[in-house]
Amino acid sequence: MSLIIRKATPEDAAPCGQICYEAFLRISSEHNFPPDVPSPEHSVGLLRMMFSHPGFYCVVAQQDGCIVGSNCLDERSSIAGLGPITVDPKVQNSRVGRELMEALLTRAASQNAPGVRLVQAAFHNRSLSLYAKLGFDAREPLSCMQGPALRLSIEGYSVRKAQPADLDACNRLCHAVHGHHRGGDLKDAIEQGTATVVERAGRITGYATVLAFFGHAVAETNPDLQALIGSAESFGGPGILVPTRNSELFRWCLHHGLRVTQPMTLMTLGLYNEPAGAYLSSILF
Ligand SMILES: CC(C)(COP(=O)(O)OP(=O)(O)OC[C@H]1O[C@@H](n2cnc3c(N)ncnc32)[C@H](O)[C@@H]1OP(=O)(O)O)[C@@H](O)C(=O)NCCC(=O)NCCS
């Protein structure tokens, strides 16, 4: 059987989105978890955006002329973000996933990305093993959390919509916490109108691209992050990705009615700095 890996085009989004939906539905239902993607239309739309966006490098796997999987690399910021990787359930566990991963790790190296990050479904033995074999280290257990909007504010912390002029301050903050910034992702979120910042004592002390599975947040302290979480009108997708070892934040979310929907793991390859502040991970962006 011939397997080729090639660059994805927007026309590939329909078959790849269908595979993406089926692959996640299969693995999630086998473990009694809700699917990450609610419908094939969602995954087709997501992959169409990623396959068309100049900041992403995406590939498809084609076996004997048929598309059997895809994978994406988010190149908008210095640390590349990998995923979603999905392989047609009919051909899983026969090296297609490894080939899709290796193609993007080669790409990341060719672009001199200092590091690559991904978020792994902690209950999935196969993806965990594959990523570890390819050199990814498990860095942080994450709890995906969902629930009704908290609708709370914290005295002394004011939350507002982020503006383009906030980008530099947010990037400096992200750099101070993570050792690199994610300005590419944040710029898109500001343009889309989903990003928020929190201000304390007249300066920006935290931001969120969106309070959702697909958004990240960075803050100087837990109360800064709590102010951002407290102001969200809802939590998009399966929920926000809270670092479980940040016990204070994790318990605060639990006390405010959020529930854990699934365990996940932040994995990285290459440059990684132990965060010097509070943050929420994102599944992709
Ligand atoms: C995860 C996924 C992309 C992997 O693709 P795949 O084609 O099935 O995987 P591959 O056959 O290329 O690689 C699996 C590797 O894990 C190894 N493996 C599988 N199960 C294992 C286990 N329980 N323990 C140890 N190793 C295991 C295999 O031996 C293989 O290693 P090798 O390449 O060194 O031989 C695919 O299974 C999928 O689409 N799953 C559903 C969606 C998903 O979970 N996506 C990832 C989100 S984090």
- C-alpha 97 to ligand 1 mean position (Å): 6
Ligand 1 atom at shortest distance from the alpha carbon of 95: 12
Confidence bin at 285 (pLDDT 50/70/90): low
Checking if the pLDDT of 120 tops 70, the result is: yes
- 285 compared with 193, residue with greater pLDDT: 193
Q: Ligand 1 centre and the CA of 87: distance in Å?
A: 9
Nearest-CA residue for ligand 1 atom 48 is 120
What is the best residue among 90, 93, 118 to mutate for testing ligand 1's pocket, by most ligand atoms within 8 Å of CB? 93
Lowest-confidence region among 30-44, 88-102, 150-164: 30-44
- Convert 41-64 to b/e letters by CB count within 10 Å (16 or more is b): ebbbebbbebbebeebbbbbbbbe
CB of 31 closer than 6 angstroms to any ligand 1 atom = no
Please answer whether residues 31 and 85 qualify as being in contact, where contact means their C-beta atoms are separated by less than 8 angstroms. Answer: no
pTM of the model: 0.96
- 48 confidence band (pLDDT: 50, 70, 90): very high
Q: Ligand 1 atom closest to Cα of 119?
A: 48
Query: Looking at ligand 1, which residue's alpha carbon is closest to its atom 46?
Result: 85
The confidence score (pLDDT) of residue 36 equals 86
Q: Ligand 1, from 59, 62, 126, 127: best to mutate by most atoms within 8 Å of Cβ?
A: 126
Give the pLDDT of residue 35: 86
Regarding the beta carbon of 262 and ligand 1, being less than 6 Å apart is answered no
| Direct distance between the N- and C-terminal alpha carbons of the chain, in angstroms, rounded to an integer | 35
- Protein residue with its CA nearest to atom 10 in ligand 1: 95
Tell me how far the alpha carbon of residue 90 lies from the centroid of ligand 1, in angstroms. 13
pLDDT for the residue 1: 75
72 — pLDDT class (breaks 50, 70, 90): very high
pLDDT, tens digit (0-9, with 9 covering 90-100), for 190-201: 999 999 999 999
**What pLDDT is attached to residue 126?**
97
Spatial distance between the Cα atoms of 139 and 57, rounded to a whole number of angstroms? 24
Report how far ligand 1's centroid is from the alpha carbon of 210 (Å).
30
Amino acid (one-letter) located at 169 = A
Residue 257 pLDDT:
98
| Encoded tokens for 58 | 């995406």
Bridge-based pairing of strands 115-121 and 80-82 is parallel
Residue to mutate (ligand 1; options 27, 36, 130; most atoms within 8 A of CB): 130
At residue 284 the predicted structure's pLDDT band, cuts being 50, 70 and 90, is: confident
283: left (phi over 0), alpha (psi -120 to 50) or beta: alpha
